[in-house]
Structure 1
Amino acid sequence: MKKIFILILALTLLSSVFTYGNINQVYRQGFVEGYLREPLKETLEIESYEGGIYSLPLSPNTIYTIDSQPVNASNFMAGMEVYAQIEGRKVVAVEGYSTSSLGYISPGSKIRTGRISRIDRNQLVLKLATGVEETFLTMPGTITLKDGKNVSLDTLYVGDRVKLHFDEVNTNIISRISIEGDSIRIKGLYKGKLNFVDGYGDKITISDVQHLNNGSWKQLSASMTIPYNKQSPLYVGGYSVSYDNLKYYRGKTVYLAMKDFFGRDQVERMVVQSQYESTYSDKIQDINWFTGGFELKNNRNIGFHDGTIVIKNDRLVDNFALSVKSDVFVVADGRGMDSSADVVYVLNEEVNNSNIGQHYIYAGRMNQIVEDRLWLKDFFLLEENEWQSFEGEKELFFDNDTDIYDLTNNKKITIKEFYSGDYAVDESSRYAKDQRLKDWHSYVYTDGDRISAIMVQKNMDSLLRQRVTNGIISSVTNDNLVGWGISIKNARDWSSRRSQWMEKNADLQVNLEKALLIKDGKQIEPYDLKAGDRMYLIRNDFYGKVLIVK
């Protein structure tokens, strides 16, 4: 009886080691790679590199190779690393690696995982787990995947955690990029008094919990117990300390960069306040990388260190992501003129995520439309968050994948309806005069000179009244009287006079009934938006005109 109990206990413990993966995710991406758990029979039993366990049916015509050499299924041994290609929910090819032939790898088998520290057009600088940085190159054929979907390279942000795949051993040219999902995004910035440290469970209890909201600290809760990430460094007063000493800082203020970890809050980065807190919201005027400090526009000099929590685009980034002219919210720690930054929150947002992107927003009168292109006359271009006017014409191209929306008649239209309609006419012609026709106006979102989405309307808006706003959607509503709208927290308006993002001190309400909504280069509907989405918005006071989900 005792032996049976021990056997059951052992099996229970063994099963708890493994987690069964999302089989639909594997089917969508069309491959899985990892460790073979059992010899091949009718199914492929595999543990993916991420830890998921999968049982996949083998096709009768499955192709088997080891080190690119054709073999029989019986040649595959448990524990061998394999790559399986999937079509029609069956494994059609299995590639094994004996590690004896190191001169060749099958396409996509060389892998590097890390966090993007810099983006410079076709160059990605990746910070590996070892702390070493390596530079890799993209090419026009580089495949970019996020949540199993093929996306554009310009969706990458500094701070994204990625897995890079290569087709050759001795190359730095990326064949495929897998972007980690929203789990890498910072959910919020908290602070509180450290009350208790559970060194065994890696948890802390803090009191007087506040979170950064609308440019200031707002009360969140009286107390909170949360797990922390012991793999990230812990800093006090600019110096790295061991987590074993964290318990000695009870009563001190801690700053916490929080993330969502499988539906629960977790501390991703933590800094303990050393002296006294000061906060600043200003523009960086100069950076001295040698001494490790920056000067704000108000001439205040603030140091930074390896433990400074730097947040940009809701992602943790390195200090080197800071740049002159960045608008920042700074939490400084020190006394008098001698202070260093515990937290730097970068407020900037642009149409493009990096210099990889070539997305533009135009507004103007449509002077001529033919089957695959149009010309805007005396148009406007949103440049550095401000409308710039241009004389003459701008030629733009559209295709079958372009989204076209007629705002005046509240409907999507086809390409044929677009170029054969009266959206652009010869206003001097007798026909146009008799029918009282005028050229329509448009808002255009492009990828280079290609129109991704366009919204057309009879009358032009007053661009002078418009402003550019960025922030985070806190709620999406559909009111019976006013229609779809959103509430925005941590909102900032661009000030042309100050050339600076100005934080708002309350949530902002915006109506989206007459707005062009863009996500991943495509037009979406208001119900596709969700709380937590970061966005870049052109609005006319209460009414949104163009919204881009970031």
Structure 2
Amino acid sequence: MYYLEINRAKTLKGLCLFLTAFIIITTSILNIYAEQPISYGNYPVLRGTTNPQEIQEDNKITDAGKDLRQMVLSSRLKAFKVQNNKIYPSRQLTNLDTIIALTALSGNDKDITNTDNLQETYKAKAIEQGFITEEELNKKENEKFFENKTTMRQLNNYFSKIMNKEIKYTSPTNKIATRLDLANMIYENKQDLLNKEDISIYSGQVISKSQIVEDGKNKSLITVKLDKNIVIKKDSQDTKRNTNNKNNSNTAEKPEYSENQVDKIVDDNSYDSTVVSYLNIVSQKDVPILTPSGFTTDVNNIWEQSQINIYTKNNNIIYVEQFTVPTSEVVGVFESIMKEDKQLLSNDSSEKGDKSADNTTNIIKIKDYNNKAHLYKLHPDVKILQVNGEIGDNISVEKPVDKDQLSYGQDVSLTVRNGVVTSIKGYVPVEEELNSYVPPESQLSSGIVLDVNDSSITLTNNKTYSISSDTLIMKNGEITDYRQIKDGDRLKFFFDDIYSNIPSKIEIEGSQRQADRIIKAKVGPYSIASKSITLKDTKELQNGQWVDTKEDAKAYENVKIRGDIYANSAKVNNKLKNYNNQEIYAVLAKNQGIPTIEQGKIRLGDSLKFDSSITNIDYSQNTLQIDGNLVKFDDSTIIIKDGNIVKSGNLEKNINSNIETNLLKTAQIIVQTGASLNIDKSENYPYKIYRGTLRDVFDYSVLLGNDIENGRKVNHYFMWQGGVWNRLSEGKTTPRINFTEQTQVYDFDNNKALTIDEIRQKQYALNAFGIRPDYFNRQVYIVTKDDVAVSINFIKAQGYVQVNSQNLIVAKGVGEYTSSDNNNNNGNNNNNNSNNNANNNNNNQKKESIKPVLIKNIYEYNSNTNRLQPVAPITTTDTATQQIKKTPVRKLINVQKAVVIYNGKAIMKTSPDTLKDKNLTIIFKQNRDKKITDNIEELDAIVVIAE
């Protein structure tokens, strides 16, 4: 105690010194850590450009459609100029256009100063580049050489000269070349052309996206798995540093970067030559992204698992190009993994010796089960898994292994993406009693469809699941295929393997998101307690027209609200009393049979209406073009596509679109129909309908011939696919259509089903001298699915050579129709006891017959415009009130003798309920006199395709 009293001053002084030293040291440590660069793994980093908006504006193209990638690159390389955001891909090239474009591509335009006389200026360039000699140009037949159109043969010849190599093309040699043809050539040979501009390309797959904070700013980090390795050498780093320090020195050594060199690598790897298979993109909305819809800087438009090309100059990103690449599965027996042999694989190896997936020590050799050898390139970061089980097992256990653990003769499954193997599964059979049990369908996922194709399904949360031929797809308890999955459908995914991205089963859920009715009404009383609303003065959208529903007024009282109601872009579910008597658009669905409002939009002010097809969609600006008008949309816009409530990402161009906006042209509701019959997708439509004559029959096929009119052959037959009739001629392309034992054959005129064997008896008709079978040269409708005949329907020639609204319609089935005459007859039968027996017999006959099917939302085919058009409603005027009333057109379909095709199978004498709520494509008999039942036209169906 005495010691502390005597040394108090010294003690306090020492304590202060200790605290001061502690604070200094702590601050230094924190500063050291604060100065550390953010770590992005051992991957190089690429960043955006200073003015991405300029790149977006300079390369904004609105008329390229699915060819946007090629046209943007062509404009970037100055082959074509963008004028008023248009580049005109289908414009034919003159020789002058071609020479101007190729001169710019070759870099020989830098000395051109005279632009007043283009022909004289580019005459010298054409001769200089070897396109034509001066002697040939002076010949009389070449007086209009520069005005003449360029053929594909000429274009290929000229393009080969500037590339110093022969270029292959597939178009006919005498076809007139277009801008798109040249753009395709440029895109196929972009690597050589971009090298001249010192532009590098990195290609790869997006692995992940995340948010980071750098320099106090929120940024996006995108990790890309590259198709080719990046080689970073210490020599190159040192040389580049020295070059930067000697900017003014003429003796500075040029840095020897490999072809795919980048400038940044973390310190751990900076002292050695490094090969990396990944890179990072850091963006603060400064990376222009080219999507199928145009440019944007929103990285949300880059999807995980999508393929991207990254165009860079001076190690800054010019723009990123996003697209999808399908994957395939290859199975066989493992042979070896070896170094590349140029005699085995002919690849374009880098002149600068960069290590890549194309020239590194990674080629796998397998043999298929026909003992044929195959060679595949491996991705430098290929994933190899050992699977305890056999190929095709639903239950298996996987673990990562090294390539040395693959054994000769082992069964393997390769995942091939963009020509490169990205993963290998090696199968190891195990004893049955040693297998561990994993419950089938033990993992469950779900979501709403954004996009679907034959190999994958993308959901609105941007998750993508692969599908294979083994994936079981169910709808309404029945097996179907991926074509029955529509945009906006809710799906459940079941997995047998928790590590797999391929579901074993997919269930398409019920109609909760299907629009039962689309209405326009006025807001009435609203109950907060019951979350219900009464709608007044309702009109229903039918075939693009608002139809009065005053007789059903009670059906719109106290309707439950299940979704969101918007006014402008704000949700107003609890404020609906403030919008009394305002007009509202609402989508009604049936949940367990009870109508509910799934989405609503209150329109403030008057409306504009557009009824056409969308020509362009710009997701970066949330705008679309229709009838030359720029229309805005947002998350509050109601969007219906083929009866499903969908998101804006599901909007589609070139199909029937009905849009209503406010006066500011902000879309309130968008209704699209006919997506399955989009001309752009017609090749993917599974069904084809042929109309022609039967020329010959073989064991498992029939030969189709030209059509017949009034008993005489004409010089063409017809084929329907995806909403369009095509007129074709008999010849080398005459279809020989395969059939199976399940193909339904029916004689419409004689109301008689025929067996396949009966048809085979008519075979070799053309070889029989003087004798023609009954069905030879009969008019026939043949329906195929995936090019195999589902039904063959004979019918007497009907006298019309055109196919049009007289024999094909597309509609929606309502259900069985009971004639008012039948109801009256039944009542009379109960009262007339004297005719009891006769009436009973009559009733029995009626029970055996199939009643007609009522259809609505009818579209007729217009042969002048080659498209389906909605049938306009019947307009009447009340003479007393002068109110205009629109009544939708409905028709009856007699299916007594029709072949109905449902789920790819042909059925006869089906119940009308089978066609209820189905989308129907109907071929019917052409009659000169209309058949009327209860003031409704009745058609005799020949074939009905139900989807």
Q: Provide TM-score, normalisation by structure 2.
A: 0.43
Q: 1:357 to 1:168 in 2, by over 3 A?
A: farther
Instruction: Tell me whether 1:345 sits opposite 2:671 in the alignment.
Output: yes
Q: 1:396 to 1:226 in 2, by over 3 A?
A: farther
Where 1:417 maps in the other structure, the secondary structure is helix
Q: 1:110 to 1:350 in 2, by over 3 A?
A: same
Instruction: Tell me whether 1:443 sits opposite 2:786 in the alignment.
Output: no
Match of 1:217 among 523, 538, 546: 546
Deviation at 1:241, TM superposition (A): 1.4
Residue of structure 2 equivalent to 1:494: 861
**Deviations for 1:108-144, whole angstroms, at most 9, x for unmatched residues?**
22111122111133111123xxxx2211111011111
Contact 2:923/2:942 (CA < 8 Å) preserved in 1? Answer: yes
Instruction: Tell me whether 1:111 sits opposite 2:111 in the alignment.
Output: no
Instruction: Tell me whether 1:264 sits opposite 2:590 in the alignment.
Output: no
Deviation at 1:265, TM superposition (A): 1.2
Q: 1:288 to 1:466 in 2, by over 3 A?
A: same
The structure whose Rg is larger is 2
Unaligned runs of 5+ in 2: 1-394, 398-435, 707-716, 823-845, 874-887, 928-938
Residue of structure 2 equivalent to 1:509: 891
Match of 2:944 among 530, 542, 547: 547
Instruction: Tell me whether 1:520 sits opposite 2:903 in the alignment.
Output: yes
Residue of structure 1 equivalent to 2:692: 364
Instruction: Tell me whether 1:537 sits opposite 2:919 in the alignment.
Output: no
Instruction: Tell me whether 1:186 sits opposite 2:515 in the alignment.
Output: yes
- In structure 2, distance between residues paired with 1:201 and 1:141: 46
Match of 2:564 among 233, 237, 241: 233
Q: 1:257 to 1:437 in 2, by over 3 A?
A: closer
Aligned length: 438
- In structure 2, distance between residues paired with 1:143 and 1:328: 33
- In structure 1, distance between residues paired with 2:763 and 2:796: 8
- In structure 2, distance between residues paired with 1:167 and 1:522: 29
Q: Which one is further off, 255-264 or 528-537?
A: 528-537
**Deviations for 1:435-473, whole angstroms, at most 9, x for unmatched residues?**
787333321221222112221235366351433432223
2:503 is aligned with what amino acid?
I
Instruction: Tell me whether 1:279 sits opposite 2:609 in the alignment.
Output: yes
Contact 1:136/1:174 (CA < 8 Å) preserved in 2? Answer: yes
Q: 1:360 to 1:277 in 2, by over 3 A?
A: same
Contact 2:518/2:586 (CA < 8 Å) preserved in 1? Answer: yes
1:113 is aligned with what amino acid?
S
Residue of structure 2 equivalent to 1:57: none
Deviation at 1:247, TM superposition (A): 3.0
Contact 2:655/2:675 (CA < 8 Å) preserved in 1? Answer: no
Residue of structure 1 equivalent to 2:746: 405
Match of 2:619 among 289, 295, 298: 289
Where 2:578 maps in the other structure, the secondary structure is helix
Deviation at 1:531, TM superposition (A): 4.2
Match of 1:149 among 465, 472, 478: 478
Q: 1:390 to 1:455 in 2, by over 3 A?
A: same
Q: 1:151 to 1:465 in 2, by over 3 A?
A: closer
Deviation at 1:354, TM superposition (A): 8.8
Contact 1:366/1:423 (CA < 8 Å) preserved in 2? Answer: no
Deviation at 1:356, TM superposition (A): 6.0
Residue of structure 1 equivalent to 2:221: none
Q: 1:192 to 1:171 in 2, by over 3 A?
A: same
- Structure with the largest fraction of strand: 1
Residue of structure 2 equivalent to 1:388: 727
Q: Which one is further off, 354-363 or 320-329?
A: 354-363
Residue of structure 2 equivalent to 1:31: none
- In structure 2, distance between residues paired with 1:500 and 1:195: 40
Q: 1:350 to 1:147 in 2, by over 3 A?
A: closer
Residue of structure 2 equivalent to 1:134: 463
Contact 1:68/1:106 (CA < 8 Å) preserved in 2? Answer: no
Q: 1:294 to 1:501 in 2, by over 3 A?
A: farther
Contact 1:488/1:507 (CA < 8 Å) preserved in 2? Answer: no
Contact 2:803/2:863 (CA < 8 Å) preserved in 1? Answer: no
Where 1:269 maps in the other structure, the secondary structure is strand
Contact 2:566/2:573 (CA < 8 Å) preserved in 1? Answer: no
Where 2:463 maps in the other structure, the secondary structure is strand
Contact 2:530/2:560 (CA < 8 Å) preserved in 1? Answer: no
1:225 is aligned with what amino acid?
E
2:917 is aligned with what amino acid?
G
Residue of structure 1 equivalent to 2:703: 375
**Deviations for 1:265-289, whole angstroms, at most 9, x for unmatched residues?**
1111111112222222112222222
- Structure with the largest fraction of helix: 2
Q: Counterparts in 2 of 1:23-62, with a 5 A limit?
A: none
Where 1:464 maps in the other structure, the secondary structure is coil
Greater RCO (CA < 8 Å, at least 6 residues apart): 1
- In structure 1, distance between residues paired with 2:481 and 2:396: 31
- In structure 2, distance between residues paired with 1:362 and 1:208: 46
Q: Counterparts in 2 of 1:429-468, with a 5 A limit?
A: 429-432=769-772, 438-459=776-797, 462-467=800-805, 468=808
Contact 1:371/1:416 (CA < 8 Å) preserved in 2? Answer: no
Q: 1:171 to 1:161 in 2, by over 3 A?
A: same
Match of 2:524 among 174, 191, 195: 195
Residue of structure 1 equivalent to 2:876: none
Contact 1:492/1:503 (CA < 8 Å) preserved in 2? Answer: yes
Contact 2:457/2:464 (CA < 8 Å) preserved in 1? Answer: yes
Match of 1:123 among 456, 461, 469: 456
Deviation at 1:229, TM superposition (A): 4.4
Residue of structure 1 equivalent to 2:640: 311
Contact 1:484/1:526 (CA < 8 Å) preserved in 2? Answer: no
Q: 1:133 to 1:198 in 2, by over 3 A?
A: farther
Deviation at 1:175, TM superposition (A): 1.2
Residue of structure 1 equivalent to 2:200: none
1:217 is aligned with what amino acid?
W
